[in-house]
Amino acid sequence: MQELLLFTRQGCCLCEGLEEKLRTLEPPQPLQRIDVDTDASLQGRYGLAVPVLAVAASTDAPFRELPRVSPRLAGAQLRAWLIKQGVR
């Protein structure tokens, strides 16, 4: 399975909600949480745009950003959305 990257920051309720939904997916999807406030370049790139979900490294780039996830998606709907985005 492809690893998901979740760009987030401390105290972001949208970030926490998406992380919780991603961690409860069946089958489990590998997930790495990245706090944008720990890196000035990430903070500059994402600012207040978190949460940002991406797929980890491919041969062409270190990651591929996914479109913004609707906060209404959870469970099977979230899994279907990830599949539609090409996440396996």
Q: Phi/psi of residue 37, each to 5°?
A: -75, -5
Q: Determine the straight-line distance between the first and last CA of the chain, rounded to whole angstroms.
A: 6
* Tokens describing residue 36: 């944008």
Q: How far apart are CA 87 and CA 29, in angstroms?
A: 10
CATH number for the segment(s) 4-84: 3.40.30.10
Instruction: Write the pLDDT tens digit of every residue in 20-46.
Output: 999 999 999 999 999 999 999 999 999
Q: How much is the average pLDDT of 61-88?
A: 94
pTM score, whole prediction = 0.92
Q: Whole-angstrom Cα distance, residue 37 to residue 8?
A: 8
Distance CA 73, CA 24 (A): 12
Whether the per-residue pLDDT at 88 is higher than 70: the answer is yes
pLDDT at 58: 67
